[in-house]
Amino acid sequence: MDRPTWAPEGVDMTLPSPARMYDALLGGSHNFEVDRQAAEQGKALVPDLPRLALSNRAFLRRAVRFLVDSGVRQFLDIGSGIPTAGNVHEIAQEIDPECRVLYVDIDPVAVAHARAILSDNDNATAVEADLRKPAELMERAGATGLIDLDQPVGVLLIAVLHLLADDDRPAEMVSDLRAVMPTGSFVAISHLTSATRPEDAAKLGANAANKSKVGIHFRGREAITAMFDGWELIEPGVVELPLWRPESDRDQHEAPGRSLGLAGVGRKG
Ligand SMILES: C[S@@+](CC[C@H](N)C(=O)[O-])C[C@H]1O[C@@H](n2cnc3c(N)ncnc32)[C@H](O)[C@@H]1O
């Protein structure tokens, strides 16, 4: 199996990665056979899985626009994934070209590809770091000179916290990030949930663990809401993905009551 030119040296092409599986679900081209197979296995169990990915991207777009409208001009997108249509810098810089975006991911493929497409953008770049080590992550973010901790930051944790096990203490990671963010900062979170379709959630979680060796943790409403502890929850609170401030029918990729993701935005007061 030849390594494609876009994949960094040393990448393991025999194990699926969440970043590349998600890229495959969105119809992207930065994934390997093993990722496409994993995405297909998920779709065989839950055929509307691609709608969930679209619904999540639509929430990301609305949340970023909301944050820019609220005065945020710098974004820390953690677990940013492989760049695909509608990236944070495109959404934010369309409204204000001065918006700065730092993409952070643990996956070297995601980081390499982000750096490549951002090479001519002075206001955006990508670094490799682990959300489970917030102090180290913030050190790397600081070294880029892109994020000014004297100004409000939009922290994006979109479809990443469900990749952390309970033992990784995801709510604590969010809280550690809040502690270093200036007042007026925001956090936007989307998270896979077992609240709406528990059987489908259980099937997908078990399949990912057994077949793909990827830990995906569908959580209940209470656990996801607890991730906003200490933040002021913005209306309408923690809701199904398509119900968070929908702008048009285009945002309704999943029917109400059927979304496998919950989302919300909080502000540090
Ligand atoms: C499903 S993708 C989401 C991409 C993008 N945020 C979105 O919602 O469209 C999740 C991303 O989180 C990254 N990730 C997983 N664990 C991480 C960790 N501990 N630290 C940083 N990134 C992580 C994965 O590599 C992957 O790119």
Q: What is the DSSP string of 118-160?
A: TTT-TTEEEEE--TT-HHHHHHHHHHHT---TTS--EEEEES-
**Which atom of ligand 1 lies at the shortest distance from residue 131's CA?**
20
Residue 164 Cα to ligand 1 middle (Å) = 10
Q: What is the pLDDT of residue 250?
A: 81
**Which atom of ligand 1 lies at the shortest distance from residue 22's CA?**
1
Q: What is the pLDDT of residue 160?
A: 98
Residue 188 Cα to ligand 1 middle (Å) = 14
Counting Cβ atoms within 10 Å, is residue 155 exposed (0-12), middle (13-18) or buried (19+)? buried
> Which residue is closest in CA terms to ligand 1's atom 13?
79
Q: What is the pLDDT of residue 1?
A: 66
Q: Which of 106, 138, 173 to probe ligand 1 with, by most ligand atoms within 8 A of CB?
A: 106
Q: How far is CA 207 from the centre of its chain?
A: 21
Task: Record the tokens describing residue 159, joined without a space.
Answer: 């479809």
> Which residue is closest in CA terms to ligand 1's atom 9?
57
Q: What is the pLDDT of residue 47?
A: 95
Residue 134 Cα to ligand 1 middle (Å) = 14
**Which atom of ligand 1 lies at the shortest distance from residue 156's CA?**
6
Q: Which residue has the tokens 């005065």?
A: 71
Secondary structure of the chain: what % helix, strand, coil (to 5)? 45, 15, 40
Q: What is the pLDDT of residue 179?
A: 98
**Dihedral sign computed on CA atoms, order 171, 176, 177, 182:** positive
Q: Which of 31, 77, 163, 192 to probe ligand 1 with, by most ligand atoms within 8 A of CB?
A: 163
Binding-site residues, ligand 1, Cβ < 6 A: 18-19, 22, 56-57, 60, 78-81, 105-107, 110, 130-132, 158-160, 163
Residue 204 Cα to ligand 1 middle (Å) = 17
Which residue, 190, 203, 208, is CA-closest to 259?
190
Parallel, antiparallel, or unpaired: how do β-strands 239-240 and 154-158 relate?
Answer: unpaired
Residue 160 Cα to ligand 1 middle (Å) = 5
Per-residue pLDDT of the chain (269 residues; tens, 9 = 90+): 678 888 888 888 889 999 999 999 999 988 999 999 999 999 999 999 999 999 999 999 999 999 999 999 999 999 999 988 889 999 999 999 999 999 999 999 899 999 998 999 999 999 999 999 999 999 999 999 999 999 999 999 999 999 999 999 999 999 999 999 999 999 999 999 999 999 999 999 999 888 778 899 999 999 999 999 999 999 999 999 999 999 988 888 898 899 999 999 999 99
Counting Cβ atoms within 10 Å, is residue 247 exposed (0-12), middle (13-18) or buried (19+)? exposed
Return d(Cα 197, Cα 228) in angstroms, integer: 23
Q: What is the pLDDT of residue 37?
A: 94
Q: What is the pLDDT of residue 63?
A: 98
**Which atom of ligand 1 lies at the shortest distance from residue 132's CA?**
19
Beta-bridge partners for 191: 262
